[in-house]
Amino acid sequence: MGIISELYWRNSDMKRRRQGAEPGRIRKPRENPYLCPQNRIREKRVRMSRKGTEEYRGELPSGLRWVHIRTSGRVAYAGVMLGIGSRDEQPSEWGVAHLIEHMLFKGTKRRSAFQVTNRVESVGGAFNAYTSSEETVLHAAFMPSYLARILELMADVVCNATFPAQELELERDVILEEYDSYEDSPAELIFDDFEELIFGDHPLAHSVLGTPERIEHFQREDILRFLRRYYTPSRMVVCTAGPFTERKVQSLIERNFSGVPHLGDTPRILKPVSTAAQSVLKRRDTTQAHCVIGGEALSLKSDRKQLLAFNLMLNILGGPASTCRLNRSLREKEGLAYTVETDRGLYLDTGTYTIYFGTDKQQVNRCVDIVLRELALLRATPLTGTQLRAAKRQFMGQTYLGMDSTESLMLLRARQVLEDLPAFSLDATAAMLEGITSSDIASLAEEFLQPERLFTVLYR
């Protein structure tokens, strides 16, 4: 995927289970918008988002923002993105943001837990949520005729969740089972250990799930105390996608979300301090060895062209294509690994990149040597013009494919609004990509891929 999809979907959707979500279970700058005095919504803007769609943005007087993508599809989508995640937790609160995500569906002032879920499922829709390090996201898919029903329900959940004590007791057990299932997935768990290694004592280091000790002792007051620090309309974005007019969407958002309470707006914990590169070996009872090699990288708010060039570099190394360098070296030529991939962790003020592979325990050292050789080759040998053109063509094609999902585009736009990020069109991304040179790739490789900057976690 390219710069557009990287900004949300790859960082959230591909890592949902790593960050504590359960796929399929109920549970990814405002650019001088035009003044809109004819209604109570302060701002709006219109932009062609992609062929066949129109995009609208606005803001309520409370500071809550919204984005709508008008499409012609037979399925509609809606969501609420909250700028609250596990990096906002104090050490005694590890796991509380994820617990809140679960508990949002356990009843409101006017609905029981069953009524919350049935409100969507009874009309054939799907209502889900997930927690990441920096966001909590509710999202739904449904037939377009039920937009009013879905937005009213989401507002009720966001504004009126009661977090009943009896449901909390049950949900703690559910999350502990989720934690245990995660512990049985070394190919996912190893990424948490990598982030713990690279981020040290910073909240980004700990798992979204928290720890069993903390999960077992959370009380309703712990939830309310956390919400009182961070719950404010200015940290929320409502997003929709479907065959709806701007007037209809903004009317429903104003009607349902004008009453979002302002409980608190505590500043986010500061950027993590860089730590010295290190390696960790953990003994685990697994058939395969699992290894992650990586380091610090650019952040979500880095220069757009530089971030695009970095993503292109990683795609050359270990993107989804079978022709990427690491896949050819480890799998196609040597037969040493079934899975080898690179990935990104994009945060507001920092970032990570990772190279993952699973292999026979006797072949680990050989695989590590091959990875280091490929990194050295990328640092020392600039891409030829032919190689660079082929890499750009492949990367842009993957970007278009990655943006084919309306829901992923909607959630991407919501995050861009939430974090005051510029929204690049596919055409603008393609134009920027054309301006990237072999020297740009070589400079990034020299800066970030040096052996002395590499962190390694190995399960053996």
Residue 368 sits in a domain whose CATH number is 3.30.830.10
Comparison of pLDDT for 72 and 35, the residue scoring more: 72
> Is residue 361 a part of any domain in this protein?
yes
Asked which of 50-64, 230-244, 415-429, 431-445 is least confident by mean pLDDT, the reply is 50-64
pLDDT at residue 52 in the model: 59
Nearest Cα to Cα of residue 313 among 269, 268, 379: 379
> Which pLDDT band, with edges at 50, 70 and 90, does 1 fall under?
very low
Residues 243 and 316 occupy one common structural domain: no
* 19 and 112 co-located in one domain: yes
> Does residue 295 sit in the same domain as residue 431?
yes
Residue 11 pLDDT grade (very low, low, confident, very high; cuts 50, 70, 90): very low
For residue range 357-369, list pLDDT tens digits in order. 999 999 999 999 9
In-domain check, residue 371: yes
pLDDT for 51? 52
The total domain count for the chain is 2
- Asked if residue 268 belongs to a domain, the reply is no
Note whether 312 and 251 are same-domain residues: no
Q: Locate 361 and state its tokens.
A: 């325990």
For residues 62 and 176, membership in a common domain is answered with yes
User: Do 76 and 168 fall within a single domain?
Assistant: yes
- Is 70 exceeded by the pLDDT of residue 30? no
Residue 111 has pLDDT above 90, yes or no: yes
pLDDT of 127 over the 70 cut: yes
Which residue, 201, 224, 257, sits at the end of a domain? 257
What pLDDT, in 10s, does the model give residues 52-70? 579 999 999 999 999 999 9
Same domain, 238 and 317: no
Assess if residue 76 is contained within a domain: yes
Q: pLDDT per residue over 255-284, tens digit each?
A: 999 989 888 878 887 888 888 999 999 999
User: What does the pLDDT read at residue 39?
Assistant: 31
- In the DSSP assignment, the letter for residue 83 is S
**Is the domain of 218 the same as that of 358?**
no
54 membership: H or E segment, kind and range: strand 54-59
Kindly indicate the confidence band of residue 83, based on its pLDDT and cuts at 50, 70 and 90: very high
Helix residue ranges, H only, 161-295: 165-183, 186-199, 212-217, 220-230, 246-257
* Residue 269, in any domain of the structure: no
247 and 326 part of one domain = no
Residue 271 domain-assigned? no
pLDDT average, residue stretch 123-137: 97
**Domain with 96 in it:** 3-257
129 and 176 fall within a common domain: yes
The pLDDT of residue 91 is above 50: yes
Would you state the pLDDT for residue 35?
26
Answer whether residue 393 is part of any domain.
Answer: yes
Shared domain check, 424 and 316: yes
Answer whether residue 266 is part of any domain: no
pLDDT, the chain, mean:
88
219 and 285 assigned to the same domain: no
Q: Which residues contact 249 (CB under 8 A, 6 or more apart)?
A: 56, 66, 68, 147, 240
Helices (H), 58-202: 96-103, 113-121, 147-160, 165-183, 186-199
